[in-house]
């Protein structure tokens, strides 16, 4: 049997890569949706109650039931809203968080985009994700939404600054923005959480702030702002905001794993197959996802000015010191650089 001439090795590779990318992205969104169930069950466990356990085994069907319900709700656009902006905001929220997952390698061969500017791509995505909240808050044309949008903008701008700087230590040690090379560098050296402990300490609050999770959920503080920027949203538009938050959690947990905890690396194993590396990566990511929920369960929400002060007066200096220190040590250890 002869193959048609257009089927070359290149087209087959492209097809395999495309299918792989779609599978990874769809899998990630599904995992994010089920994280809603995970969060409710874990919170319930820690508060000594059951949580959703009726629909399907262990209540796993709850997410499907909720999604069906939210699809059939009335999709209401307020007459006083700016329609175009109001509709585009949830789409930006969802799209940006999914795009961010593109650069994360799940294993040495399991990846979607192998960009040499990988980490910068994440920072760009994090910067653009603010527009979802700003536009949602502004276009709703309501006081609570606008206040939520304003808060979110100030918070994100402040926390983005040192988020970028805190990651530069990792980039310097690995010598690349490429996330696969960062993991390879960790396999040769140690996991960067050891050498970049200060960077990791600053990265954790910044990562929480990016996803607008408790204790950094001031943009949607329900006691003061009803629901903040998505007060006026209903039906699947609200659903997209909600799921995008969980997609963000999965994405940031995966990024934490990749940058500080060796990605797919298994300690003391030289050549992990794709299955073992995927397993190791998922397990680490799962631990961080659960710790997000634990943080929500354990910590109260600070005042707004406290959050801003902590960002500018504590985290920014620490990240700057970490960057200078890392640069100094690398320069000291590089032979011939001191002359």
The site for another protein (CB under 8 A) is made up of 82, 84-85, 115-117, 120-121, 123-124, 126-128, 130-131, 134-135, 137-138, 146, 149-150, 153-154, 156-157, 160, 164, 176-177
Q: Find the shortest distance in angstroms from Cβ 83 to another protein.
A: 11
Q: Let me know: does 183 contact 110? Beta carbons within 8 Å.
A: no
Q: Which of 204, 198, 209 is nearest to 170 (CA)?
A: 198
CB of 331 to another protein, least distance (A): 12
Whether residue 215 is preceded by a cis peptide bond, meaning omega within 30 degrees of 0, is yes
Smallest gap from residue 171 Cβ to another protein (A): 9
Cβ closest to another protein, residue 33 vs residue 129: 129
CB of 53 to another protein, least distance (A): 42
Residue with smaller CB distance to another protein, 66 or 82? 82
- The CA-based dihedral angle spanning residues 64, 69, 75, 80, taken in that order and rounded to the nearest 10 degrees: -100
Question: Cβ of residue 169: shortest distance to another protein, in angstroms?
Answer: 16
* Nearest to another protein of 43, 124 (CB atom): 124
Distance between CA atoms of residues 171 and 95, nearest Å: 26
Q: At what angle do helices 83-100 and 235-260 cross, to 10 degrees?
A: 30
Backbone angles phi, psi at 217, to 5 degrees: -100, 35
Is the Cβ of residue 35 or residue 99 nearer to another protein in the bound state?
99
- CB of 280 closer than 8 Å to CB of 261: no
Distance, CA of 196 to chain centre: 20
Q: In this structure, are residues 116 and 177 in contact, taking their beta carbons and an 8 Å threshold? A: yes
The encoded tokens of residue 305 equal 């000015």
In the complex, minimum distance from the CB of residue 261 to another protein, in angstroms, rounded to a whole number: 24
Nearest CB to another protein, comparing residues 84 and 294: 84
Residue with Cβ nearer another protein (62 or 140): 140
């Amino acid at each position: 049997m002869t193959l048609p001439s257009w089927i070359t090795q290149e087209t087959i590779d492209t097809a395999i890569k495309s299918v792989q990318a779609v599978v990874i992205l769809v899998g990630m969104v599904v995992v994010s949706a089920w994280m809603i169930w995970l969060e409710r069950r874990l919170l319930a466990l820690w508060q000594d109650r059951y949580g959703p356990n009726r629909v399907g085994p262990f209540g796993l069907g709850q997410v499907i039931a909720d999604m069906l319900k939210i699809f059939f709700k009335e999709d209401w656009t307020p007459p006083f809203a700016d329609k175009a902006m109001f509709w585009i905001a949830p789409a930006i929220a969802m799209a940006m968080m999914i795009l961010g997952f593109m650069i994360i390698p799940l294993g040495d061969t399991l990846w979607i985009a192998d960009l040499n500017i990988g980490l910068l791509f994440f920072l760009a995505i994090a910067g653009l994700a603010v527009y979802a909240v700003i536009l949602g808050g502004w276009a709703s044309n309501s006081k609570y939404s606008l206040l939520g949008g304003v808060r979110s903008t100030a918070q994100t701008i402040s926390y983005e600054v040192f988020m970028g700087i805190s990651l530069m230590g990792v980039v310097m040690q690995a010598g690349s923005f490429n996330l696969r090379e960062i993991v390879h560098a960790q396999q040769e050296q140690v996991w960067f959480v050891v050498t970049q402990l200060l960077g990791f300490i600053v990265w954790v609050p910044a990562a929480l702030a990016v996803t607008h999770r408790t204790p950094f959920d001031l943009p949607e503080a329900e006691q003061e702002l009803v629901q903040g920027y998505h007060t006026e949203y209903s039906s699947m538009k609200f659903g997209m905001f909600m799921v995008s938050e969980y997609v963000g959690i999965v994405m940031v947990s995966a990024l934490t794993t990749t940058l500080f905890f060796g990605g797919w690396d298994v300690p003391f194993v030289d050549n992990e197959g794709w299955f073992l590396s995927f397993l190791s990566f998922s397990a680490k990511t799962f631990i961080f996802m659960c710790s997000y929920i634990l943080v929500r369960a354990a910590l109260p929400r600070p005042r707004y000015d406290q959050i801003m002060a902590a960002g500018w007066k504590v985290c920014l200096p620490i990240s700057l010191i970490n960057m200078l220190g890392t640069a100094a040590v690398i320069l000291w250890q590089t032979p011939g650089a001191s002359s």
